[in-house]
Every structure is written in structure tokens, then in C-alpha cells.
Amino acid sequence: MFYTINDLITQANQAHHGSIAELMIAVEMETSGRTRAEIRALMTRNLEVMIDSVKAGLTNQKSRSGLTGGDALKMDTYIKSGKTLSDVTVLSAVRNAIAVNEYNAQMGLVCATPTAGSAGCVPAVLISATEKLGLSTEQQLDFLFTAGAFGIVIANNASISGAEGGCQAEVGSASAMAAAALVQAAGGTAFEASQACAMVIKNLLGLICDPVAGLVEVPCVKRNAMGASLAFICADMALAGIQSKIPVDEVINAMYQVGLAMPSAFRETAEGGLAATPTGQKLQAEIFG
């Protein structure tokens, strides 16, 4: 078993030719007693749900609250216009993330990676990377195993809960997981994957969780879009050889410390941030009376 990112890198390099996915599968086999085939079959189901949630989210359907819906379709139309300012791969990840989280707000089935509120980042990046890199189904599964390995370390040493650590713990963790997996999918080393993870978290330190009306919609949907785009940028930085001056495990610990110091108003209580603005309060009153 691994308990730090440093452990993760060392064990992957020593026993699995640098593949974090293979290490994750080996650990899962040991701890769960399942066979390799059973484990990959379970992950295949997660992959199917992710793909379906992106497709299902590309509609004009509104959530039950009326706060969100239709933005993924707007982004898809904009991409197809050929007039975008940003790279199409990154924008497709933005679209995918919005789609998943709008679908989640519509009570659709999503795969929590690592939470429902941050469920858009990993599938958004994976599906865009699949189109960009031509990933096979097996490589897509490896992407998810790699993301999961990083997620385990973050969860055990910091938090993946908005109520405990703010949105840095949810979208921050999800984006870091996606960035790390993206690096390995693109042929990067385990160490490079760790650097992408570190750079994402560093850039999202202190991000609060302030859901309007207490619903996982505003600003959650758009934060997933931001997180997916950041995952691509940090993956490219890592693949370029750029390194974090602060070791990744120290970065994760810093996120934990920031979460502990964060006032409760900024940890999913809807008592601060955007939820406490006049418009945020007005929307809450309109929804709940």
C-alpha cells in the first residue's frame, strides 16, 4: 500500500515499470481479494457511466431548481462555430465538465470522482484526452486507475470534502487527479504526473465552497469547467519539465492546513461567499420560499 505521493512514485517505478495504474490494480487486488479481471470490469462500469453522463448533459434541460442547464450545449455550439479563442481540446473538456455537472443537477447518474460536486473534472479530461490521444478502452481504464491512486493519497492526507476543506478539497482534488492521470496517458513519468498534481492544488489553494441555496449548482458547475481546463494546463507544464518548488506531499498537507483554517461560512454551509450575496440570497428565497 502507498500512503504518500512519494510512496506512489517509488513503488510504481520499482515494481510496475513506472505505471501508477498497474500499482493501483495490484493494491486493489491485495486489499479487496478481487481478481484483476473483476477490478477492471468494475472500473469499466465507472467509465460507461462517465461517458453516458457527458452525452446526457448536452441538452437544454434545466435542473429542478432552474439554476443550471443548457450551458454545455451552448459551449458545444460555440466550439463547432470554429471561432473559439482557446484550444478545442481544452474547450471540449470545459464542455464535458459542464455537461456532467448539469446532468448531476438534473438528478442524473454520475460517477463521483471523488465527489458528486466535482464529478465533471475527471470524465471531462478523460474524454477530451481520448479524442486528442486516441486512447483505447484499456488506456482509458488505466487513466481512471491512475486518477484513483492520486485521489486516495489526497483523501487520506488532506480531504475531498467541501464541508471539511472547501472547494479546494473537491474540485481541487478532482482536477489534480485528472491532471496526474493525463500526464501518464500522454506518456509522462510517474514523477511528472506528481508535478501536475502539485501544480493544480497550488493554484486552487483556498478555494471556498459557497453553493448558492445550498445546492450543488452555482458556482459548482462552472468550477468543474475551470478545474478541467486547469488540469490540461498543469499536465502540459509538467510534460514540459516544469516542476513544483514545493514537494507534492507538502502541497497536499498545505491544502489540509488551509482547510482547517477556513471559516465554516466557506465550507459548504451556504453562509458566505457567493451564497451570501444579495442575488444569492434572492435565488435561495425564490427556490425555497
In tens, the pLDDT along 229-249 reads 999 999 999 999 999 999 999
Length of the chain: 289
Could you give the CA distance from residue 110 to residue 16 in angstroms, rounded to a whole number?
Answer: 31
* Beta-bridge partners for 267: 209
**Contact at 8 Å (CB) between 209 and 157?**
no
Q: Is the pTM of this model over 0.75?
A: yes
Could you give the CA distance from residue 93 to residue 80 in angstroms, rounded to a whole number?
Answer: 14
Q: CA nearest 115: which of 183, 165, 54, 182?
A: 165
In tens, the pLDDT along 90-131 reads 999 999 999 999 999 999 999 999 999 999 999 999 999 999
In tens, the pLDDT along 54-78 reads 999 999 999 999 999 999 999 999 9
**Residue 255, class by beta-carbon neighbours within 10 Å (0-12 exposed, 13-18 middle, 19+ buried)?**
buried
SS3 277: coil
- Residue 164 is predicted with a pLDDT of 97
DSSP 127-175: HHHHHHHT--HHHHHHHHHHHHHHHHHHHHHS---HHHH-HHHHHHHHH
**Residue 66, class by beta-carbon neighbours within 10 Å (0-12 exposed, 13-18 middle, 19+ buried)?**
exposed
Q: CA nearest 135: which of 179, 187, 173?
A: 187
How would you label 23-33 residue by residue, b for 16+ Cβ within 10 Å and e otherwise?
bbbbbbeeeee
Widest Cα–Cα separation across the chain: 59
Q: One-letter amino acid identity for 24?
A: M
The whole-number average pLDDT for the span 39-66 is 98
Could you give the CA distance from residue 55 to residue 66 in angstroms, rounded to a whole number?
Answer: 20
Q: How many domains does the chain have?
A: 1
The whole-number average pLDDT for the span 24-40 is 98
pLDDT at residue 136 above 90? yes
Crossing angle of helices 36-57 and 137-157, rounded to 10°: 90
Provide the mean pLDDT of the chain: 98
The whole-number average pLDDT for the span 183-190 is 98
- Residue 214 is predicted with a pLDDT of 98
CATH number at residue 143: 1.10.4100
- Residue 130 is predicted with a pLDDT of 98
- Residue 289 is predicted with a pLDDT of 84
Domain range for residue 157? 5-288
Cis-peptide, bond into residue 114, ω within 30° of zero? yes
